Structure formats: structure tokens, C-alpha cells
Amino acid sequence: MVATLADPRTQSIGSRAKLPRDVRRWVDRACATVARKAADVRPYPLASQLELQPTAVIGRERLDVSLWFRLQIEPAWVVDGYEKAERINQAVAGETTAQARRQALGSTLDLPVAAAVDYDTAFAAGAVFGRSGIRAAAIPFGAFLADDRYASSVRVSGRSRPLDARKPARAFRSVLVARAFMEGWRTTHAPLPERLHLLGLGQPLVLAVTLLALDGVAAVSCDATSPFKDAAAAALYTEKPVFRRLDGDAVVKRVLLAGGRPWDCPCPFCRSVAKEQHWGNARTIVRKSSPAELKKALHLNRDSVLSPLLPYFSLASAGRFADLRAMHNHWVVVRCVRRLGAAARSARALQAYVRRTVKLYEVGAKGTNYAGVYPTAFEMARGTWSGF
């Protein structure tokens, strides 16, 4: 399969021509502003990076295409959008392979950032990077993981491919970008990347499925600020039976209304505040509350009477409790990634591990918006999805 660069004048689904005229004008103005602002961005000086004596650096990056995505502008809506994205990747590759930069880096691995937000931009980026002789790269995923949109179709090889249902886009967009980048690279017959760094991808379940699409890469690393941002929003991570992100409100409701056991995470951060969570007093308040009072109490903000009793789960709790939630979340991610790393020692073991994990997740996600998302992403990662 070869991804084709789409002509934005075509009448294909999701093309620029399908947009109302006033939306097209807005897209043009927004992209012009993005281009001006992105041109003014100056990268962190390479000399300053090298002072830290790193083994690798996040390399050259052009922000235009990622900023289109953050404005919810698809490349097909931009005049010559896919061609512009490819030219950006060519410029990044040229800057990366410049002799002066290579001499300055010496043995330090350079990880230029691909401009990739969908299958077609990622395919072209992989082809450009593979042809350039680049040894390693970074792919930006943070915007995908922060995207709460749903989709009923995706664009692959210039065509809209339907999904079997309307699904949250973050998981399968990440997988499609990773798979397309590798497919584009393989068309060049260059050696596969020594290393890929996944910028902003710290969700272990998305990471697990995405890894299936990166078969043949010697080393994969990732980073994310999500454990800290989620902690500030009173969200806690779980590792058993699978990775889940739970709002503090949801944990409290499960315990107080559904007869669940109080939070009993064995990590040192949760244990350090366990005695400060007064579940018995909280149950008494719940029993005595009217339906209206209960609804207000179970939203653990500053106005909730339960917040002082269960501060670890309250959005009103900052400072020490938010810090401990962040450390707990990081603890969970590290444990999940270690298990994933152990499974990734062989392609067969990784596939079996991810398959089991997706099945376990589906049991817990039954009846939610995320039911059915990861089986689709799993098939996309393996290349067996019917839309290919």
C-alpha cells in the first residue's frame, strides 16, 4: 500500500472543498498566523543541550503541522497541506544532516521531530527521514493524547476509511501515525531506526498498542507530563488488572455507593496518606444526605463536605496531596512500562501481552465510550485492519 499526497481540491470526504467558504477563510488565516509565529520560534541552543552530556537530544522540529492539529485543522483542509508537511520534513531532515550539526553532536544521537498528525503525513515523514540517512527520530504524540474528539472515519492513503462505530480518536490516531511512519521508512529500504522517541506518550495502554506498529526498531523511549497534569486534576492511575485513569470522584463513588473496598494501593505515596482518608465518616454523611445533597457532596471540589474527609481524592486538594498523587501516577506508569519492556523482548511475546491487556481492558470498559477502541487500534497496529 502506498500513501498518496491528496489534492485538497478534490471532492473526497473531509477535503477542503467540503468546507463552507467562511471556514476555509478561517483555516487560511489561522495557518498564516501559525506560519508567522512558528517562524519566530528559536530552538534551545544545541551547545546548551550538549553541556548536560546527554546520550541523545531531541533534535530539529518545525511546529506548523502540530499547531494545525491543536487548532483542529486537518492537513486536507489546508491549501497544499500534505505537500507543505512533506516540505517541512525535508527541511528538518536537511538541518539534521548538515555537516556542522553532525560534527557538533559527535557520538550523541540526534532525534529530529517528524511533522506527522495523520497516516499520510506520517508516511511521507518516514519516507523523507529514511531517504536522508537519519539514524533515529522523535514523533510527537502529546497533542493526540490530549485530543478528546471522536471520529467515525480516518484518512489513509488519501481516502476516508470508515470505522465500525464512532470512537475516541486518541488511541487509533497514535497507532496510525506510528504505523505509517514505519511503512514510509520501509519504502526507502534504509536500515530501520536505531531509536524512536515518542514525545508526550505516557499512557501505557496506548504505548503498548503503538509498540506493535514499531516492530524492528531497536529501542523505543517516551516521555509525558500527563501523570502530573492528571494528578493536579485529582485523577489516579491503576495498574491492575490493567492501566486505567480514574477520577477521584469515581473512586469515592465506587467505595461509598457501590460497596467497593477503600483505596488500598500498596505504593508508598498512597500508604503515607491512607490514615488521613476518613471513609467511615464519609459513609455516615452519605447515609444522612438527601439526593440533592449527595449529588453535591460526591463532586469533590471545594464545596463538597466530603473533600476534607477524603482529601487525597479531592480536586480541592493541592500541595502535598497533589504531589503525592503525581508520584503515585508516575509509580504506576513505571511499573506498567517495565512489564511492557519485558514483553517487548520478542515480537511474539509483545503481541501476546498486548492482546491480553486489550482483552482485560475491554472487560472493565464495557458500556463506556472506550469499549471497542483498543481492539480496533490493535488491528491497525498489526496491519490487519479492514480499512487498509
Instruction: Give Cβ neighbours of residue 191 (< 8 Å, ≥ 6 apart).
Output: none
**C-beta of residue 388 within 8 angstroms of C-beta of residue 156:** yes
Contact 59, 112 (CB under 8 A): yes
pTM for this prediction = 0.90
Burial class (CB in 10 A: 0-12, 13-18, 19+), 372: middle
Beta bridge partners of 238: 244
Coil vs helix vs strand at 195? strand
Is-contact 210 381, C-beta < 8 A? yes
> DSSP state, 113?
B
Q: What is the mean pLDDT of residues 76-90?
A: 97
d(CA 321, CA 234): 9
262-277: pLDDT as tens digits: 999 999 999 999 999 9
CA distance 340 to 333: 10
Grid cell, residue 71, equals 487548532
Higher pLDDT, 5 or 212: 212
Q: Which pLDDT tens digit goes with each residue over 5-57? A: 333 333 334 689 989 999 999 999 999 999 999 999 888 899 999 999 999 99
**CA dihedral in degrees (327, 331, 332, 337; nearest 10)?**
130
Which residue did the predictor score with more confidence, 6 or 374?
Answer: 374
Percent of the residues in the chain that have a pLDDT greater than 90, as a whole number: 85
Cell of 185: 521508512
pLDDT score of 79:
96
164, 185, 298 from 350: Cα distances, Å: 26, 22, 40
- Per-residue CA distances from 237 to 253, 285, 337 (Å): 16, 27, 13
pLDDT for res 14? 67
pLDDT tens, 323-362?
A: 999 999 999 999 999 999 999 999 999 999 999 999 999 9
pLDDT at residue 184 greater than cutoff 50: yes
Centre a 10 Å sphere on the Cβ of residue 332 and count the other Cβ atoms it contains.
22
The whole-number average pLDDT for the span 367-379 is 91
pLDDT tens digits for range 117-164: 999 999 999 999 999 999 999 999 998 888 989 999 999 999 999 998
The mean predicted confidence, pLDDT, of the chain is 92
Please write the tens of the pLDDT for every residue from 266-317: 999 999 999 999 999 999 999 999 999 999 999 999 999 999 999 999 999 9
Flag whether pLDDT at 3 surpasses 80: no
* Contact assessment for residue 149 and residue 373, using Cβ atoms and an 8 Å cutoff: no
pLDDT, mean of residues 73-101:
96
Domain ranges for the chain: 16-224, 230-329
Count how many residues are written for the chain. Answer: 388
Of all residues in the chain, the percent with pLDDT exceeding 70 is 96
Give the integer Cα–Cα distance in Å for 326 and 336. 15
Q: What is the pLDDT of residue 5?
A: 35
Q: Give the side-chain half-sphere CA count within 13 A for 253.
A: 12
Strand extents, DSSP E, the chain: 56-58, 109-111, 136-140, 150-156, 159-168, 195-199, 219-223, 235-238, 244-247
Asked if 194 contacts 134 with a C-beta cutoff of 8 angstroms, the reply is no
Q: What is the 3-state secondary structure (H, E, C) of 221-234?
A: EEECCHHHHHHHCC
Residue 367 cell numbers, joined: 458500556
Position 2 scores a pLDDT of 33
Nearby residues of 152 by Cβ (< 8 Å), 6 or more positions away: 162, 163, 165, 166, 167
pLDDT at 370 over 90: no
Q: Grid coordinates in use for 283? A: 459513609
Quote the cell numbers at residue 50. 550538549
